């Protein structure tokens, strides 16, 4: 197939309307697939679609070129209706090299659109991908999928032949050829990407010119080449009106803290040690010093949390952030905050484990660690955001609860939420609940562990307050006075008091929102980043006439006060999780319900189809 031939101009292509599409860009780590995906996402957001994204990249910074483990991909689903997940099966796969084809082809729907960069299908790359023969030569491929073989490298070089760039620099532009082409196929506006190019390469006109040319060449190729018979339109989604922006989970966590810093009017000290996939929270916060957020890149995970605790002792909001392995290291210090009864916020951006595990892959297996992963009885409040944008509200809420109850609050995000983005309706910060910080200054009747009767919080005293000098620490202390105490009855009392204080946070939890009938055959209970996959599966089952509802828990400790009642309104309870069954155990233990788990621990988000199948099985064949 000759690709370099001058495209036929003036041919009017058919445009077909779609409700939704799932697209994945896949290539070598050096092929710029993340950027391509992000730009396609921006274009799609501009087009007014709802969307969800799934970046997926190797942990190696520069994985050897052409290898299977060096493949990087970016998937998104967009639609004219609510989109809850990045999608399960692909409508379109762009494979920039043989390895990408090998790793991702099985996810493409039969009859799906398959676009390959033929230039990369040469012997060396085929060998590295483990292909004995060129898969493009197998007629079965074109029978099974709508295969388009495009010499993207050649066409890119052709578009740039008059520019003073070397061959390597030209080759690096080919991802924008793919972006231009797919943008044409799905009728995406190029303006946001052209804007981006203008800003990014403001100082290097040649590169700005090159990327613009290649983007447009890709777009024009789709429009004029004979091979693409049709293209698609996905109408704007019916979304609540307002101003939107794209939001990733980690940025939302960071901005939620900034909102809390502004509202509480006290400094936030954020101690963190770099770890995948949490580091970008630290990096984001370091950009915003104007909010009096003080970031410390600590020497280790323990120093990260203890510096936050030291700051809390000083009357600041202390926050630390890590992923599972780092949270394990922080355990002892979190226990100190529990017994010293200081406000502390801990973000855990969960990743696949144990140990190093798969740092760039997602998982929900730190729930038990959050609830119980410390020595002795050391309860903390545990919250979990449901979507990338929800991370903003959860981060804010974690600070509000921590300072109100003088208690550590752990937030369980995950790699999927951290890097995934969604169109986010920008909230009015004035609608956020107030964060009331009260520092005691009154000497009369002061004791370090004198408690507020409603919250059981002890007074927060800033050092520097005359007359309230006092000492606290990790040793058990007598209630009220705070004096060291080894008295057995006092210890029992303090263990119960610390637990009761966390339980009282239940008074902050709004009534649980039930998606579906208030009573029925099946209740699906989820938490964290599985919200989209569960909701999509439940809505599908509801559409089939099944008596299914779902709830999504944002408060995991304490659990919502109405939860026990809700669970009993359904014949069966299903708990899908990316772990081997953690929330399901908590629910069974706490409420004596016969909840069953649906568990896949693959380092990937749960597939909506799989959850739907589990729902179908539990409900029985008849809707």
Partner 1 sequence: MSVTGAGAAATPRYTKKDFESDQDVRWCPGCGDYAILSAVQKSMPDLGIPRENIVFVSGIGCSSRFPYYMNTYGFHTIHGRAPAIATGLRVARPDLKVFVVTGDGDGLSIGGNHTLHVLRRNVDVTILLFNNRIYGLTKGQYSPTSELGKVTKSTPLGSADRPVNPLAFALGCGATFVARTVDRNIPHLEEMLKRAARHRGTAFVEILQNCNVYNDLTWNVMYDKESKLRYELRLEHGKPLLFGPPDARQAVIMDGVTPKVAPAKDVAERALWVHDERNVNAAKILADLFAPDFPVPIGVLAAIDAPIYEDLLLEQEQRAISERGPGEIARLLTSGDTWKIE
Of 408, 409, 414, nearest to 383 by C-alpha is 409
The rounded distance, in Å, linking the Cα atoms of 368 and 363 is 13
- Least separation, in Å, of the C-beta of 340 and partner 1? 8
Among the candidate windows 5-13, 227-235, 236-244, 595-603, which touches partner 1 by CB under 8 A? 236-244
Total residues contacting partner 1 by CB under 8 A comes to 72
Read off the DSSP letter of residue 199.
Answer: H
- Distance between alpha carbon 330 and the CA centroid of its chain, in Å? 22
Among the candidate windows 227-235, 404-412, 425-433, 495-503, which touches partner 1 by CB under 8 A? 425-433
Among the candidate windows 51-59, 119-127, 144-152, 258-266, which touches partner 1 by CB under 8 A? 258-266
Contact 555, 578 (CB under 8 A): no
Read off the DSSP letter of residue 266.
Answer: S
- Least separation, in Å, of the C-beta of 141 and partner 1? 38
Contact call for residue 200 and partner 1 (CB under 8 A): no
The rounded distance, in Å, linking the Cα atoms of 175 and 171 is 9
Over the window 436 to 475, marking each residue x when it contacts partner 1 by CB under 8 A and - when it does not, the resulting string is --------------------------xxxxxxxxxxxxxx
Please pick, from the candidates 484, 544, 571, 602, the single residue that binds partner 1 as defined by CB under 8 A: 484
Contact call for residue 368 and partner 1 (CB under 8 A): no
Between strands 71-79 and 20-28, the pairing is antiparallel
Residues 24-53 touching partner 1, rule: CB under 8 A, are: 42, 45-46, 48
Contact call for residue 428 and partner 1 (CB under 8 A): yes
**Nearest CB to partner 1, comparing residues 307 and 599:** 307
Residues 6+ apart with CB under 8 A from 531: 84, 386, 387, 390, 552
Among the candidate windows 104-112, 119-127, 158-166, 420-428, which touches partner 1 by CB under 8 A? 420-428
**Nearest CB to partner 1, comparing residues 259 and 407:** 259
Residues 319-348 touching partner 1, rule: CB under 8 A, are: 332-333, 335-336, 340
Among the candidate windows 178-186, 219-227, 244-252, 614-622, which touches partner 1 by CB under 8 A? 244-252
**Nearest CB to partner 1, comparing residues 90 and 304:** 304
The rounded distance, in Å, linking the Cα atoms of 427 and 247 is 12
**Alpha-carbon distances, residue 536 vs 83, 86, 436, 543 (angstroms):** 8, 11, 38, 10
- Distance between alpha carbon 45 and the CA centroid of its chain, in Å? 18
Please pick, from the candidates 198, 229, 429, 620, the single residue that binds partner 1 as defined by CB under 8 A: 429
- Least separation, in Å, of the C-beta of 339 and partner 1? 10
Over the window 500 to 539, marking each residue x when it contacts partner 1 by CB under 8 A and - when it does not, the resulting string is ----------------------------------------
**Nearest CB to partner 1, comparing residues 240 and 545:** 240
Of 308, 351, 315, 350, nearest to 330 by C-alpha is 308
- Least separation, in Å, of the C-beta of 296 and partner 1? 6
Contact 413, 350 (CB under 8 A): yes
How many other C-beta atoms are found inside a 10 Å radius of the C-beta of residue 199?
Answer: 8
**Nearest CB to partner 1, comparing residues 164 and 434:** 434
Burial bucket for residue 9 (CB in 10 Å: 0-12, 13-18, 19+): exposed
- Least separation, in Å, of the C-beta of 344 and partner 1? 11
The tokens describing 280, both together, are: 């970008």
Tracing tokens 């290097």 back to the chain, one arrives at 204
Contact 210, 165 (CB under 8 A): yes
**Nearest CB to partner 1, comparing residues 228 and 424:** 424
Structural element, H or E, at residue 207: helix 205-224
The rounded distance, in Å, linking the Cα atoms of 105 and 99 is 10
- Least separation, in Å, of the C-beta of 246 and partner 1? 7
Please pick, from the candidates 244, 273, 531, 570, the single residue that binds partner 1 as defined by CB under 8 A: 244
Residues 284-323 touching partner 1, rule: CB under 8 A, are: 288-292, 294, 296, 298-300, 302-303, 306-316, 318
Beta bridge partners of 116: 95, 149
Between strands 555-557 and 381-383, the pairing is antiparallel
């Amino acid at each position: 197939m000759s690709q370099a031939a001058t495209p036929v101009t003036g041919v009017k292509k058919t445009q077909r309307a779609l409700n939704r599409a799932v697209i994945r860009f896949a290539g070598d780590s050096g092929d710029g697939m993340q950027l391509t995906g992000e730009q396609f996402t921006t274009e799609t957001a501009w087009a007014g679609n709802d969307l969800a994204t799934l970046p997926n990249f190797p942990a190696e910074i520069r994985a050897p070129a052409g290898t299977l483990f060096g493949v990087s991909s970016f998937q998104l689903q967009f639609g004219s209706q609510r989109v809850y997940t990045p999608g399960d099966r692909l409508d379109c796969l762009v494979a920039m090299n043989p390895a990408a084809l090998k790793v991702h082809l099985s996810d493409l729907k039969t009859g799906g659109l398959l676009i390959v960069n033929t230039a990369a299908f040469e012997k060396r790359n085929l060998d590295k991908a483990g292909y004995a023969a060129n898969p493009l030569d197998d007629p079965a491929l074109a029978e099974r999928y709508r295969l388009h073989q495009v010499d993207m490298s050649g066409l890119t070089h052709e578009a740039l032949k008059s520019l003073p760039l070397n061959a390597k620099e030209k080759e690096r532009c080919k991802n924008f050829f793919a972006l231009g082409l797919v943008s044409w196929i799905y009728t995406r506006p190029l303006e946001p990407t052209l804007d981006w190019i203008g800003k990014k390469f403001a100082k290097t006109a040649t590169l700005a010119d090159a990327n613009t040319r290649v983007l447009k060449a890709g777009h024009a190729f789709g429009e004029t080449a004979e091979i693409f018979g049709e293209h698609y339109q996905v109408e704007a989604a019916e979304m609540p009106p307002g101003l939107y922006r794209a939001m990733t989970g980690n940025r939302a966590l960071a901005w939620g803290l900034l909102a809390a810093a502004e509202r509480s009017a006290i400094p936030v000290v954020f101690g963190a040690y770099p770890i995948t996939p949490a580091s970008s929270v630290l990096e984001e916060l370091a950009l915003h010093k104007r909010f009096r957020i003080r970031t410390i890149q600590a020497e280790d995970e323990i120093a990260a949390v203890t510096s936050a605790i030291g700051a809390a002792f000083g009357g600041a909001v202390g926050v630390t952030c890590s992923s599972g392995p780092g949270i394990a290291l922080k355990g002892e210090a979190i226990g100190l905050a529990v017994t010293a009864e200081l406000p502390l916020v801990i973000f855990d951006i969960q990743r696949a484990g144990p140990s190093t595990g798969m740092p760039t892959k997602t998982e929900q297996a730190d729930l038990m660690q959050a609830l119980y992963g410390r020595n002795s009885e050391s309860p903390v409040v545990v919250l979990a955001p449901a979507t990338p944008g929800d991370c903003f509200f959860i981060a804010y809420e974690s600070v509000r609860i921590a300072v109100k109850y003088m208690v550590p609050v752990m937030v369980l995000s995950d790699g999927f939420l951290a890097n995934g983005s969604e169109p986010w309706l920008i909230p009015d910060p004035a609608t956020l609940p107030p964060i009331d910080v009260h520092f005691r200054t009154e000497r009369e009747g002061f004791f370090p562990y004198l408690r507020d009767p409603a919250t059981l919080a002890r007074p927060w005293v800033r050092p520097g307050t005359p007359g309230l000098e006092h000492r606290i620490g990790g040793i058990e202390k007598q209630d009220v006075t705070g004096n060291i105490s080894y008295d057995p009855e006092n210890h029992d009392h303090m263990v119960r008091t610390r637990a009761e204080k966390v339980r009282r946070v239940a008074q902050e939890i709004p009534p649980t929102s039930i998606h579906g009938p208030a009573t029925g055959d099946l209740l699906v209970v989820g938490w964290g980043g599985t919200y989209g996959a569960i909701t999509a599966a439940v809505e599908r089952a509801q559409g089939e006439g099944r008596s299914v509802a779902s709830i999504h828990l944002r408060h995991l400790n304490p659990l919502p006060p109405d939860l026990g009642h809700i669970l009993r309104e359904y014949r069966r309870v299903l708990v899908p999780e990316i772990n081997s069954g953690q929330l399901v155990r908590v629910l069974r233990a706490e409420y004596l319900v016969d909840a069953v788990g649906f568990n896949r621990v693959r380092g990937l988000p749960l597939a909506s189809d799989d959850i739907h199948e589990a729902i179908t099985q539990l409900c029985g064949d008849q809707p």
